[in-house]
């Protein structure tokens, strides 16, 4: 008689069998013989002919992804709650575009997706973007090998290994290093050395311990360089994809994977580096190419003047790159590339113009990225190498509220800067005169806080103090989401180079210049705060700091707002185009803060850190305010220069007379160049994308 099996027993057996621990394992010694269906490759990643997996090339701002095609089961316990142990080993190499100047890095990644849609390059390593970074719903685990120090993300150096969980701000990180075989002495390791490096990543689920190990050989060292206690059970889901992600930024590096092994519930097989594909041969050094070209030209000269002239004519449009230019940080574009991007710098692509030159809209042919190309009016008296060195500094600044410098180009005396394109143009066209679109109070307050955050980064959060020098509505650009971003930082300093040191020269915009600038000529973080105060008032009031066509008592915005504050009618100055639809507490805070920042005594102005805390509601503004015009230049040892002729918040008769004289030439948008005892508006028009 056949014995029947109860259905409940069958169900239990099925569940138990389905939860049986399965040890997934694969080993790739090169990728030539990999079945196409076994790997998912996207972005710029590709498998080269010699079997090397190339994640990125020398193209700026691109991403590359490679994942094991099928999802791997990471939770095999009875209830599917606990992550199993796993181990991986891989051999990689990073070759920067220029020696010691590369970016960004790559990461071993465990993700819910093998496509990473919406991921951004640069500091996001092709893993996340600025809107989802840090979200717990990401369910993302990564070990990054980063070659750029991003201060916004708290990177410890430009050569580090970090453990990232749902974020690009590492939970734990260490400078890249390794232990030699049989040694307990740690040695420094330069990730961009262009040599093959082997990495091991091991997770022990029983101890919730993650270890990262590096070596320059085939054998795994006894010591790890980074150990981190973490329970990955809440992070990893039951089925996940494993692979690699890389990106480039302003500068580019080629990221290579030569071999890869992976194993669940066991130790991954170490790779024999000698049996793996070799690193691709580097391209010829551009400096060598230039030297060779020059020698060829000399040889041609020996054959006769006519042949030499022909060679000069033939190659007159080739970009000549001097050796020092190879050390500059941001990506160097060719003139031909930018000329093509802007369709020959046609007037149809012109976005605006100003004291520093014209700005064109461009479409980069390689990446199809829309950019803004600023063509600088370069004066011979300015040191070219110093100018470009300053560009290198600007190119390293990274903040969500700064307009990002993508790259640059030099052709003879012509200098071009390439920026992120800001589709909504500059802030001034939304608050002055009769704008096509009236910004809501919510949008204005968001822009104000964004600009304050960017300015705080320049003043205190970067490795050096950067003074903007020309904060105004025309230099605040709006991205596709109407976020405020500061542009043109640092350029005023460049423009000032070459000035006669015996004269006092101040380059800025009338209405934003701090009074002490006309005495010392030296900009400070406090003079930036003064200009930011003017910006606060003009955004709240919807008018320029100096309105030449206004009534005498309303001519200068600081004095007008202060008068209304003294009368207890401060909210009467709020932009009437808002039709009363605004948050009164926020508007009051912005106006009071604008008056505090506009104080003529620099020591009475708050720092940008305090400004940000006020705007975020962390600190309450004082109930009483000091009058902004308490500054007395004569008592402070001012020079013979009449400060009241230049101080925007001092409505003297001489000042009113000058404004009247300039009213036909100055509409509040131009720059003021103050030299010796004269002041005149410079030829600077509006730029919709700086």
- 303 confidence band (pLDDT: 50, 70, 90): low
pLDDT of 111 over the 70 cut: yes
What's residue 408's pLDDT? 81
Measured between alpha carbons, how far is 206 from 334 in angstroms, rounded to an integer?
Answer: 55
What's residue 367's pLDDT? 81
446 is in an annotated binding site: no
Mean pLDDT of 39-43: 91
What's residue 573's pLDDT? 94
Q: Terminal CA-to-CA distance of the chain, rounded, Å?
A: 89
In the block, tokens 């300053």 appear at 390
Look at 179 and 358; give whichever has higher pLDDT: 179
Which of 220-234, 342-356, 415-429 is least confident? Answer: 342-356
Mean pLDDT of 239-254: 90
In the block, tokens 């969500």 appear at 400
Is 528 labeled as catalytic in the residue annotation?
Answer: no
Q: CB under 8 Å, gap of 24 or more: what pairs does 630-633 form?
A: 630/599, 630/600, 630/601, 630/604, 631/515, 631/599, 631/600, 631/601, 633/515, 633/519
- 386 confidence band (pLDDT: 50, 70, 90): low
Question: Closest Cα to residue 401, out of 464, 471, 465, 477?
Answer: 477
- 509 confidence band (pLDDT: 50, 70, 90): confident
One DSSP character per residue, 380-443 reads TTS-HHHHHHHHHHHHT---TTBPPEEEEEEETTEEEEEEE--TT-BTHHHHSSS-SSPPPHHH
Question: Closest Cα to residue 610, out of 600, 621, 599?
Answer: 621
Torsion sign, CA atoms 550, 553, 559, 564: negative
Task: Identify any residues that bridge with 188 across adjacent strands, giving them in sequence order.
Answer: 177
Which of 102-116, 257-271, 334-348, 657-671 is least confident? Answer: 657-671
Number of Cβ within 10 Å of residue 339's Cβ equals 18
Measured between alpha carbons, how far is 44 from 368 in angstroms, rounded to an integer?
Answer: 14
Q: Give percent of the chain above pLDDT 90.
A: 41
Q: Which one from 202, 420, 470, 488 is the annotated catalytic residue?
A: 470
184 φ/ψ angles, rounded to the nearest 5 degrees:
-105, 15
What's residue 18's pLDDT? 43
Q: CB under 8 Å, gap of 24 or more: what pairs does 578-583 form?
A: 578/438, 578/440, 578/441, 578/542, 581/440, 581/441, 582/441, 583/441, 583/445
**Residue 682 Cα distances to 455, 507, 547, 654, angstroms:** 25, 9, 18, 20
414 φ/ψ angles, rounded to the nearest 5 degrees:
-90, 125
- Rounded to the nearest integer, the mean pLDDT of the chain is 78
What's residue 392's pLDDT? 65
Mean pLDDT of 184-189: 88
What confidence tens digit (pLDDT) does each residue in 124-180 have?
899 998 778 888 888 999 999 999 888 778 888 889 999 999 999 999 999 999 998
Q: Which domains can be identified in the chain, with CATH numbers?
A: 9-275 (2.60.120.200), 319-420 (3.30.200.20), 428-681 (1.10.510.10)
What's residue 355's pLDDT? 53
Which of 108-122, 398-412, 421-435, 581-595 is least confident? Answer: 398-412
Question: Closest Cα to residue 448, out of 483, 481, 416, 418?
Answer: 483
Number of Cβ within 10 Å of residue 58's Cβ equals 17
pLDDT of 640 over the 90 cut: no
Q: Is the bond preceding residue 669 a cis peptide, omega within 30 degrees?
A: no
| Contact call for residues 669 and 352 (beta carbons, < 8 A) | no
What's residue 324's pLDDT? 43
In the block, tokens 């005023």 appear at 492
What's residue 139's pLDDT? 92
pLDDT of 515 over the 90 cut: no
pTM of the model: 0.52
Measured between alpha carbons, how far is 16 from 26 in angstroms, rounded to an integer?
Answer: 25
pLDDT of 683 over the 60 cut: no
What's residue 251's pLDDT? 78
Q: What share of the chain is helix, strand, coil (3-state, %, to 5)?
A: 30, 25, 50
Give alpha helix (H) positions in 525-629. 525-541, 557-567, 584-597, 608-615
Look at 30 and 687; give whichever has higher pLDDT: 30
Mean pLDDT of 61-88: 88
What's residue 405's pLDDT? 84
- 412 confidence band (pLDDT: 50, 70, 90): low
What's residue 382's pLDDT? 43
Mean pLDDT of 456-475: 87
Number of Cβ within 10 Å of residue 292's Cβ equals 11
Reading the block at residue 22, the tokens are: 């399965």
Strands 160-165 and 172-175: antiparallel
| Contact call for residues 75 and 82 (beta carbons, < 8 A) | yes
């Amino acid at each position: 008689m056949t014995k029947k099996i109860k259905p409940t027993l069958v169900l239990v057996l099925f569940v138990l069998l389905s939860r049986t621990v399965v040890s997934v394992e694969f080993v790739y010694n090169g990728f030539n013989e990999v079945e196409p269906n076994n790997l998912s490759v996207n972005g710029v990643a590709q498998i080269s002919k010699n079997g090397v997996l190339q994640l990125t090339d020398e193209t700026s701002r691109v991403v590359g992804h490679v994942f094991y095609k099928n999802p791997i089961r990471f939770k095999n316990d009875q209830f599917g709650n606990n992550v199993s142990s796993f181990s991986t080993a891989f051999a990689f190499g990073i070759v920067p575009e220029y020696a010691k100047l590369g970016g960004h890095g790559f990461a071993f990644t465990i993700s819910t997706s093998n496509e990473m849609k919406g991921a951004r390059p640069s500091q996001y390593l092709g893993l996340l973007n600025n809107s989802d970074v840090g979200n717990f719903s990401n369910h993302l685990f990564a070990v990054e090998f980063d070659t750029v120090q991003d201060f916004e993300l708290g990177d410890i150096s430009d050569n580090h290994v970090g453990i990232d969980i749902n974020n690009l701000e590492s939970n734990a990180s260490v400078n890249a290093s390794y232990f030699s075989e049989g040694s307990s002495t740690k040695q420094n390791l330069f990730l961009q050395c262009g040599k093959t490096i082997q990495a091991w990543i091991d997770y022990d689920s029983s101890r919730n311990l993650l270890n990262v190990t590096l070596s320059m050989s085939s054998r795994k060292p006894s010591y790890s360089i980074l150990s981190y206690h973490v329970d990955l059970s809440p992070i990893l889901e039951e089925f996940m994809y494993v692979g690699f992600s890389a990106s480039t930024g302003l500068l580019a590096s080629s990221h290579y994977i030569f071999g890869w092994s992976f194993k669940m519930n066991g130790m991954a097989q170490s790779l024999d580096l000698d049996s793996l594909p070799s690193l691709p041969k580097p391209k010829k050094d551009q400096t060598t190419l230039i030297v060779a070209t020059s020698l060829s030209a000399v040889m041609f000269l020996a054959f006769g003047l006519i042949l030499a002239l022909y060679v000069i004519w033939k190659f007159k449009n080739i970009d000549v790159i001097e050796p020092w230019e190879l050390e500059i940080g941001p990506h160097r574009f060719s003139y031909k590339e930018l000329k093509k991007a802007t369709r020959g710098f046609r007037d149809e692509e012109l976005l605006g113009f100003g004291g520093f030159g014209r700005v064109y809209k461009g479409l980069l042919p390689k990446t199809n990225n829309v950019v803004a190309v600023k063509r600088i009016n370069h004066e011979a008296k300015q040191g070219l190498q110093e100018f470009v060195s300053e560009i290198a500094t600007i190119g390293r600044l990274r903040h969500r509220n700064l307009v990002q410098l993508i790259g640059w180009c030099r052709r003879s005396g012509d200098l071009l800067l390439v920026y992120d394109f800001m589709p909504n143009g500059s802030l001034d066209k939304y608050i002055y005169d009769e704008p096509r679109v009236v910004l809501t109070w919510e949008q204005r307050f968001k822009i104000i806080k964004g600009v304050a955050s960017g300015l705080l980064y320049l003043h205190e959060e970067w490795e050096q103090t950067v003074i903007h020098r020309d904060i105004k509505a025309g230099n605040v650009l709006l991205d596709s989401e109407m976020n405020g971003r500061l542009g043109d930082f640092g350029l005023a300093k460049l423009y000032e180079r070459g000035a006669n040191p015996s004269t006092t020269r101040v380059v800025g915009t009338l209405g934003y210049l701090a009074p002490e600038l006309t005495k010392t000529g030296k900009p400070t973080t406090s003079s930036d705060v003064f200009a930011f105060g003017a910006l606060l008032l003009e955004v709240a009031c919807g008018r320029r700091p100096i309105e030449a066509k206004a009534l005498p008592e309303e001519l200068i915005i600081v004095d007008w707002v202060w008068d209304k504050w003294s009368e207890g009618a401060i909210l009467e100055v709020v932009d009437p185009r808002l039709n009363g639809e605004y948050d009164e507490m926020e508007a009051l805070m912005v106006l009071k803060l604008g008056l505090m920042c506009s104080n003529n005594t620099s020591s009475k102005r708050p720092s940008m850190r305090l400004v940000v805390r006020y705007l975020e509601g962390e600190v309450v503004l004082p109930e009483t305010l000091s009058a902004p015009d308490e500054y007395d230049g004569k008592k402070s040892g001012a020079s013979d220069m009449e400060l009241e002729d230049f101080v925007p918040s001092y409505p003297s008769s001489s000042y009113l007379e000058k404004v009247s004289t300039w009213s036909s030439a100055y509409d509040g948008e131009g720059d003021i160049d103050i030299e010796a005892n004269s002041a005149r508006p410079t030829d600077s028009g509006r730029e919709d994308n700086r």
